[in-house]
């Protein structure tokens, strides 16, 4: 399987080169490579995409067999695309475009593969760092980190989890300060994860990505994008040095199909206030967005070989959500709401701890979520806005993390 072109149904001149027997046998296997179901996308007719790759992924489908990936070296190549997709040529020499990612189908797959990315109608492809060394301009969202399709969760993947994993303020918190398991529903469900290397922080990252097309909703944005901006340079005690090379960990969520049946109306109202940048009167008038909290948990601390100091620090923050203010920003798009969490501006102690753990996090299983802090008894119990699990992601860039290029950098 090979090249990518930017025009559809263009005729390709027949190849005159003589083939060896081995090459002819290989070409016989390259049939029915991709599915035909189209995926609706947002239209960006003028936005091209470029991927410079050192590895190119070849895919074989043989009579319904389990999908496999082979990597072959491609030296110093650059592919220009109007959308990030594969193409193949039929027996008549006509190039057929194939839509190959359906973010809405990830959680519905019954595949036995360790982790997956989804083609148009649900056909599955194993994807393990297929974008190594890539430089991407406006890539499709959610392709870099695959979804784990079963409980064993292979390294370098993400999983859906129940929000009840997290401890939040219970119904009687203002009386007894007790935290309980969160209610087992979420207004937003996970659909994908990306990791991008960046020469400096990229805010409002959604405008540099091609997001999946979703149905609009009259109450809430149908897509939620969470952009966690992580530094990869040595931490400094001075926050004036709070921009530089880093990684954007981008989490994608879509509005639940059962939001009207499962989600309490008061929680929907709270989310609307967050999105609309409402204010409230406490001791002074403050933005409602100041209530946003991040939930984080390490599932397997025993696998990270923590020092006694690190263990104490981990226990000190166990089951303690942290307010994201003032290190957060918010952005609105046509069908999405984006939350940027700037780790570059976290406290020196937090950044130092992250730096010391970075190499070992590839053995860690992390649970992440967001919630809105309850300030009144009638807002209890707290509910989880969105959540997912990250399975042993490598946050040290050895070249396996693609670089996101903005149009300003191109």
- DSSP codes joined into one string, 197-219: EESS--SSGGGGSBPBP----SS
Examine the domain organization and report whether 121 and 153 are in the same domain: no
Strand partners, 70: 58
Could you report the per-residue pLDDT of 371-399, keeping only the tens digit for each?
A: 999 999 999 999 999 999 999 999 999 99
Q: Within this chain, do residues 121 and 231 fall inside the same structural domain, yes or no? A: no
Domain end position, chosen among 112, 137, 162? 137
* Per-residue confidence (pLDDT) for residue 282, from 0 to 100: 81
Give the whole-angstrom CA distance, residue 405 versus residue 397. 16
Q: How far apart are CA 41 and CA 251, in angstroms?
A: 19
Supply the pTM of this predicted model.
Answer: 0.71
The whole-number pLDDT of residue 181 equals 97
- Mark whether 77 and 119 lie in a shared domain: yes
Q: Is residue 285 in some structural domain? A: yes
Q: Kindly state whether residue 13 falls inside one of the protein's structural domains.
A: no
Cβ atoms 387, 168 nearer than 8 A: no
Q: What is the pLDDT of residue 65?
A: 36
Strands 157-159 and 124-125: unpaired
CA distance 24 to 20: 6
**272 DSSP assignment:** H
Say if residue 132 is in the same domain as residue 185. Answer: no
Instruction: Give pLDDT, residue 238.
Output: 78
Which pLDDT does position 130 carry in this prediction? 62
175 and 120 fall within a common domain:
no
Whether 132 and 244 share a structural domain: no
Instruction: Take residue 48 and report the two structure tokens written for it.
Output: 């091209």
Give a yes or no: residue 203 inside a domain: yes
Residue with tokens 């036995």: 112
Distance in angstroms (rounded) separating the CA atoms of residues 320 and 182: 13
What is the pLDDT at residue 334?
92
What's the domain count of the chain?
Answer: 2
Q: What one-character DSSP code corresponds to residue 139?
A: P
Q: Are residues 32 and 96 in the same domain?
A: yes
CA angle 387, 195, 101 (to 5 degrees): 80
181 and 122 in a common domain: no
Mean pLDDT by 10 residues, the chain (410 residues): 41 46 45 37 39 32 35 34 35 37 36 39 41 85 91 90 97 96 97 96 97 91 98 85 91 95 96 96 91 96 92 84 94 97 92 92 96 96 98 94 83
pLDDT score of 210: 96
In 3D space, the residue among 324, 10, 359, 363 whose CA is nearest the CA of residue 155 turns out to be: 363
> Is 216 exposed, middle or buried (CB count within 10 Å of its CB: 0-12, 13-18, 19+)?
exposed
What's the CA gap between 101 and 34, in Å, rounded?
11
| Cα→Cα distances 78→3, 51, 56, 132, 231, Å | 11, 6, 11, 13, 28
Sequence-distant (≥ 6) Cβ neighbours of residue 223 within 8 angstroms:
211, 212, 214, 252, 253, 254, 255, 335, 336, 337
Say if residue 239 is in the same domain as residue 272: yes
> DSSP string of 37-92?
----B---TT--EEEEEEEEEEEE--TTPPPEEEEEEEEEEEEEESSS-EEEE-TT
Residue 273 lies in a domain: yes
| Same domain? 36 vs 100 | yes
- Give residue 42's pLDDT: 46
User: Residues 167, 93: one domain?
Assistant: no
Do the domain assignments include residue 400? yes
272 part of a folded domain: yes
Q: How far apart are CA 243 and CA 233, in angstroms?
A: 9
- Asked whether residue 252 is domain-assigned, the answer is yes
- In the listed set 115, 137, 159, which residue is the last one of a domain according to the structure? 137
Q: Taking each helix axis from N to C terminus, what angle separates 348-357 and 308-316, rounded to the nearest 10 degrees?
A: 120
Residue 101 three-state SS: coil
In a domain, 4, yes or no: no
Are 104 and 169 contained in the same domain?
no
Query: Contact 217/255 with Cβ under 8 angstroms?
Result: yes
CA distance 117 to 199: 27
d(CA 410, CA 408) in angstroms, rounded, equals: 6
Among 137, 159, 178, the domain boundary falls at 137
Q: Residue 100: which domain range? A: 21-137
Give the C-alpha separation, 31 to 11, whole Å: 18
Backbone angles phi, psi at 52, to 5 degrees: -100, 120
pLDDT value at position 358?
94
């Amino acid at each position: 399987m090979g090249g990518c072109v930017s025009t559809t149904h263009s005729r390709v001149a027949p190849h005159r080169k003589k083939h060896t027997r081995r090459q002819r046998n290989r070409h016989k296997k390259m049939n029915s490579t991709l599915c035909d179901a189209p995926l609706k996308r947002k239209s960006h007719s003028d936005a091209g995409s470029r991927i410079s790759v050192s590895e190119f992924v070849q895919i074989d489908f043989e009579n319904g067999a389990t999908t496999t990936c082979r990597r072959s070296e491609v030296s110093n190549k650059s592919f220009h695309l109007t959308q990030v997709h594969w193409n193949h040529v039929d027996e008549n020499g006509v190039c057929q475009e194939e839509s190959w990612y359906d973010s809405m189908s990830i959680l519905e797959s019954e595949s036995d593969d360790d982790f997956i990315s989804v083609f148009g109608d649900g056909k599955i492809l194993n994807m393990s760092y297929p974008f190594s060394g890539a430089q991407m301009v406006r890539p499709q969202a959610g392709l870099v980190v695959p979804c784990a399709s079963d409980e064993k969760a292979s390294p370098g993947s993400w999983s859906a989890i129940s929000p009840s994993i997290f401890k939040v303020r219970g119904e009687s918190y203002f009386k007894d300060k007790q935290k309980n398991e969160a209610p087992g529903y979420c207004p937003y469900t996970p659909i994908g994860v990306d990791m991008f290397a960046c020469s400096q922080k990229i805010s409002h990252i959604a405008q540099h990505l091609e997001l999946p097309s979703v149905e609009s909703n009259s109450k809430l944005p149908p897509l939620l994008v969470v952009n966690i901006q992580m530094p990869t340079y040595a931490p400094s005690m001075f926050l004036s040095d709070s921009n530089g090379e880093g990684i954007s960990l981008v989490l994608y969520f879509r509005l639940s199909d059962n939001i009207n049946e499962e989600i309490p109306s008061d929680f929907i109202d709270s989310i609307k206030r967050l999105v609309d940048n409402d204010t409230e009167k406490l001791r002074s008038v403050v933005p409602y967005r100041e209530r946003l909290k991040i939930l984080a948990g390490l599932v397997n601390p025993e696998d990270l070989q923590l020092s006694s100091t690190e263990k104490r620090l981990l226990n000190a923050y166990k089951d303690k959500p942290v307010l994201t203010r003032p290190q957060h920003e918010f952005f609105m798009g046509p069908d999405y709401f984006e939350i940027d969490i700037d780790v570059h501006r976290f406290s020196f102690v937090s950044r130092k701890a992250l730096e010391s753990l970075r190499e070992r996090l590839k053995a860690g299983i992390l649970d992440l979520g967001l919630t809105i802090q309850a300030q009144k008894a009638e807002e209890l119990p707290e509910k989880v806005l969105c959540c997912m699990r990250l399975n042993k992601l490598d946050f040290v860039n050895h070249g396996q993390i693609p670089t996101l290029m903005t149009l300003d950098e191109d």
